[in-house]
Amino acid sequence: MSPFSRREFLKSSLAVGTLTSVGTLSLHAATRTATDIVTLGKSGMKVTRLAFGTGSNNGHVQAELGQQEFTRLIHYAYDRGIRFFETAESYATPAMLGVALKGIPRESYQLMNKVTTDEGVDPRQRFDEMRSLMQTEYFDIMLLHWQHNPDWLARTGRWQDGILEAQSKRTIRMRGASVHGLPALRQMPGNQWLEVAMIRMNHNGTRMDGPDYRDDNNPANRDEVVEHVKQVKRDGMGVISMKLVGDGTFTRHEDRQAAMRFAFNNAGVDCVTVGFKSTREIDEAIDNLNIALT
């Protein structure tokens, strides 16, 4: 082979290899999965698309597993790629979750907690107690829990200030709220304090927001909820959705699949949290979300 032809051969081989690599990378990049890391709005906070929720029936479903089985389930989810775990002060699970996560590198997962905005309570003291109970130096996300009144923004000013102070100390990294009912949800778009919005979502309005905070079925209001999701995303907020299995009422597999498809393909949420009580449920949720993202 002449020197010239060899050079041309090597250049051609390199070009083919590069094109093959680009094609492979593009195909890989286009494949979205349940355990991908996604960014919540403008905040820069990165979480997996699927979160492990510990609040089924206020956490009693998970608590009834006992610490050993619950810990095994958390570790199973972690091994499957879930790196986002959530609880709430009012659930039965915060201390159990803290024990279950012990020994797992703290920087390898994100932890979300929700605080009850009681009157007559010092937010700083409450946050310190929550960190102590869960054996963590910081929370990645803290939400004002169960906001259900149209004036919740005015009512929770003291708690908003407390979270801002904790953020300045890096004991809370990101702030937001979870809402129940359209009167509360309608206060989210345009709000400058919120960085993340936790909003109920599924395909047929089961246990979704309606005229008040009750956990009723409100299919007629589903489209308004979706529009609010899109509005807050345009505002730069991250959106985490709950009630993907209709508060446990979706006994048909096709409903659980449809809820995942609707949340991501119609509403365009960033991630979802699902309460688990078995490895089978974890596997199914990952499969359902992977299919929805295809």
pLDDT at 30: 63
Give the Cα separation of 8 and 122 in Å (integer). 74
pLDDT at 18: 36
Give the Cα separation of 202 and 221 in Å (integer). 11
- Packed helices 253-261 and 279-293: angle between N→C axes, nearest 10 degrees: 50
- For residue 3, give Cα distances in angstroms to 6, 7, 9, 11, 14: 5, 6, 10, 12, 17
Q: Which residues pair with 282 in a beta bridge?
A: none
Give the Cα separation of 147 and 198 in Å (integer). 10
**Structure-token match 């389930």, residue found:** 73
Which CATH number is 33-293 given?
3.20.20.100
**Structure-token match 């906001």, residue found:** 147
- For residue 35, give Cα distances in angstroms to 78, 135, 153: 10, 25, 33
- For residue 185, give Cα distances in angstroms to 58, 68, 146, 188, 210: 21, 38, 11, 6, 10
pLDDT at 31: 87
User: Is the whole model's pTM more than 0.95, yes or no?
Assistant: no
Whether the Cβ atoms of residue 70 and residue 56 lie closer than 8 Å to each other: no
pLDDT by 10s per residue, the chain, length 294: 433 333 343 333 333 343 333 344 444 456 899 999 999 999 899 999 999 999 999 999 999 999 999 999 999 999 999 999 999 999 999 999 999 999 999 999 999 999 999 999 999 999 999 999 999 999 999 999 999 999 999 999 999 999 999 999 999 999 999 999 999 999 999 999 999 999 999 999 999 999 999 989 999 999 999 999 999 999 999 999 999 999 999 999 999 999 999 999 999 999 999 999 999 999 999 999 999 999
